[in-house]
Structure 1
Amino acid sequence: MRSLLDLSRDDLVGLLAAWGYPAYRARQIRSWVFGQYVEASEQMVNLPGSLRRQLADWGSVWPLEIADSRLSRSGDTLKVLFRLADGATIEAVLMLYDRRRTLCISSQAGCAMGCTFCATGLDGLTRNLTAGEIVGQVLALSSLLAQRRDLATDRARANGSRVSNVVFMGMGEPLHNYTPVRDAIGVLTSPEAYGLGARNITVSTIGVVPAMRRLAGEGLQLRLAVSLHAPHDHLRTQLVPPGRRWPIRDIMAAADEYIERIGRRVTYEYVMLDGVNDTLELGRQLGRVLRGRRCHVNLIPFNPIPGQPYRPTPDGRVRAFAAQVEASGVPVSVRVRRGVEMDAGCGQLSTRFKLESAPVALQAGDSVA
């Protein structure tokens, strides 16, 4: 199904011109879409009725709908499962803080990378998302934030109700779907559309080296995160199979180029797997690999996946591992663990949804605690 979100401003102006409407109608439509988060053209009340009907006949506003949602017991994490027009499902996770509202979004339905600890990779890649399907996740969650009083603290509401930070860390490898992701970032950062600062967007990759170099050439002030998960190729290729194609030395070279051209440090993500990649010696090795680089390490507690052999590293060992890395002068943080009880790990809600075959769309005010 066609969606307004997949039209650029110029495309929309051209469509309206073909129907005999002036260009300013495009500004009105985009104001409704990006400012009011409307889901249907019928809601755009300052448009002529004839135009609203033509838009409805042409296609939809949003290219997705909410199929399921889970709100954590703490009330600070909301996971949403979206159903796309062709029946494919994707996930997004909204994390609420006092001063920001961070949304983790998907770039693909499924994933072809095959990381052995990731639920998304269990079923492989279904398809790439369009730019509109990527942007639609942000608008849908911004709409929920505007509607639901239970999705923000008083302090957060004082700082605005829309999504303030976007991270491409949901389903899929963003740099394996480069052009739609780049186009979606263009829409999200455009002052005429969503108007988010590029510095508030993070793109996470397993290390698709050619695309990392291409992203550096875009000149955008994006945050780059690299999913490393091991300090040497022998272990990493067991966890991240594409590492056979792009070894760590090549990933580091591409990341260093990004730092040089963009001027921002790179984050290296490291999921902590009990007895697999969490020994103190591996921590020392990771520190040596990253020593002297303008970077930061983010240690990620593992969200268990039913039927998979991996378990999360105990907290004490996480702290000891972090100390080994920090001994090389590399800053380390440990990601706050959220949403374990409501399938917040990437791909988990989608997998459970498929297994339970429960295609019941929730209304904006509903949730499963």
Structure 2
Amino acid sequence: MTQVQLNLKTDVKNLPYEKLKNYLVAQGEKPFRAPQIMKWIFQKGVGSFSEMTDLSQKSRESLEKQCEVSFLKISQRQLSLDGTQKFLFELSDKNTIESVYIPDVGRVTLCVSTQVGCRMGCKFCLTAQQGLIRNLKPSEIVNQLLEVQKKVERKITNIVMMGMGEPLDNIEAVLDAIDILRSKWAFNISGRKITVSTVGLAPKILQFGKSSDVNLAISLNASNDHVRSSIMPMNKKYDMDELLEACKQYPLKPNRRLTIEYVMLGGVNDSLEHAKELVQRLQGVKCKVNLIPFNEHPGSAFKRPTDDAVSIFQEYLNSQDTTAMVRKSRGRDILAACGQLCSAPSSLTSPTTNVMNNDVVSGVSVH
């Protein structure tokens, strides 16, 4: 019978400051080692304890035996015509995830994944087609930022957990990852520059609000239960009344609002009547609305709405004191836009797409 070698080492990238400090103390180390180690792995990017020169030789040798510093492998890197980049990462178990780098004027955003696949089953989302394979560890979430930052020139300023997976279905790992992202000994990213998106797991929304004050986005996508249940199966478990009640109870800081995300599907949820219904449903919810014209992908039954339909919808919401913005789709040509991510090398991208493997641009040109 074949013996399977299990890696019993502790990955220190899974541990935010308090957990790392407690772990180190339990191993006989001093508490001040925690910030030292976090600076080495998150700010200086070292991959072994032997490189941590302000630790004693004894500590380095001990930690090398008990712990590891994980990394992600970039399997594919693609460049969109608009400057967006999509990264396909291979995990230690050979599963894959995608992240999207989105440079803009005044800020640079990284969209990260929180699960391999997703079990929420949203009909308009490509990730949903593969189902849930597994949750990501905190290290696998923050390593997306570490690896992408090595490959790009501009500093990443904003993080959105809107990639593959439902963040609140992996809430403990997500909360640990947020702690690491915000730590002054790691990335030191302000909570106002981190956004977590959820399909609407009502009980976990309140749990999340009590545990973190980063931005929260609710993927609503409909103005009534009939439409929402037809495109988002989770609505049958937590209907709009329950979801919006959780939104009303959500503990927001002064001058902060929830974001309501509304993917507009041509002929499904994009009429003026839907806009009127949405305004009524959002009464009492402190929010702004992001309208997201559907990004088509191979095999989808849905269509992108017309520009006129989007404009009429937006104008009506704004006329009713419901702040509404249209999100500019980025990276559509490389299937990097909202709802287009999937755990597979992209064989479905446009033939004019730049594909960079090991940082070498293939012979395909961008026009």
Which residue pairs with 1:252 in the alignment?
244
Structure whose residues are more often helix by fraction: 1
Query: C-alpha separation between the residues in 1 aligned to 2:361 and 2:32?
Result: 37
Structure 1: distance between partners of 2:258 and 2:104: 23
Verify: 1:164 aligned to 2:172, yes or no: no
8 Å CA contact 2:164–2:341 kept in 1: the answer is no
Paired position in structure 2 for 1:185: 178
Distance 2:341 2:257 in 1: 32
Distance 2:322 2:23 in 1: 52
Give, as a single letter, the amino acid of the residue that structure 2 aligns with 1:363: N
Alignment coverage as a number of residue pairs: 350
Question: Does residue 301 of structure 1 match 2:257?
Answer: no
More off after superposition, 299-308 vs 255-264: 255-264
CA shift in 2, pair 1:64/1:53, >3 Å: farther
Partner letter of residue 141 of structure 1? V
Q: In the TM superposition, what are the counterparts of 1:10-29 in structure 2 within 5 Å?
A: 12=20, 24-29=32-37
Query: CA separation in 2, counterparts of 1:182 and 1:256?
Result: 22
Please state if 1:341 is matched with 2:333: yes
Shift, 1:216, TM fit: 2.1
Residue 47 to residue 68, structure 1, CA distance change in 2 (3 Å)? farther
Q: Deviations over 1:101-124 (max 9, x none)?
A: 111111111101000000111010
Amino acid at match of 1:194: F
Q: Is the 8 A contact 2:163 2:341 kept in 1?
A: no
Kindly provide the amino acid, as one letter, of the partner of residue 168 in structure 1. M
How far residue 132 of structure 1 moved from its aligned partner, in angstroms, is 1.4
Give the Cα separation in 2 of the matches to 1:252 and 1:349.
27
Instruction: Determine the C-alpha separation between the residues in 2 that align with 1:52 and 1:23.
Output: 15
Aligned equivalents of 1:22, 1:240: Cα separation in 2? 49
Cross-structure match for 1:226:
218
2:88 corresponds to: 81
1:325 aligns with 2:333: no
1:217 to 207, 210, 214: 210
Q: Tell whether the 8 Å contact from 2:76 to 2:358 is kept in structure 1 after alignment.
A: no
Deviation at 1:177, TM superposition (A): 0.9
3-state DSSP of counterpart to 2:345? helix
Measured at CA, do residues 215 and 98 of structure 1 come closer, stay the same or move farther in structure 2, by a change above 3 Å? same
1:239 maps to 231
Letter in 2 for 1:112: R
Give the TM-score normalised by structure 2: 0.85
Structure 2 CA distance for partners of 1:334 and 1:80, relative to 1, 3 Å: same
1:31 pairs with one of 32, 39, 63: 39
Secondary structure in 1 matching 2:342: helix
Residue 363 of structure 1 corresponds to which residue in structure 2? 358
1:39-67 superposed Cα distances (whole Å, 9 cap, x missing partner): 45565455567766765665542342211
1:287 aligns with 2:279: yes
Identify the residue that residue 101 of structure 2 maps to in structure 1.
Answer: 94
Match of 2:72 in 1: 64
From the superposition, tell whether residues 142 and 43 of structure 1 become closer, same or farther in structure 2 (CA, over 3 Å).
farther
The alignment's C-alpha RMSD in Å is 2.9
Corresponding residue number in structure 1 for 2:352: none
The whole-number CA distance in structure 1 between the counterparts of 2:356 and 2:331 is 21
Normalising to structure 1: TM-score of the pair?
Answer: 0.84
Shift of 1:272: 1.3
Letter paired with 1:5: K
Structure 1 window deviating more from structure 2 (2-11 vs 220-229): it is 2-11
Of residues 138, 145, 167, the one that matches 1:138 is: 145
Which has the higher mean CA deviation after the structures are superposed, 66-75 or 117-126?
66-75
SS in 1 for 2:226: helix
2:280 matches 1:272: no
One-letter amino acid matched to 1:209: A
- Distance in structure 1 (CA, Å) of the matches to 2:344 and 2:134: 19
Structure 1 counterpart SS, 2:89: strand
| Alpha-carbon distance in structure 1 between the residues aligned to 2:361 and 2:40 | 24
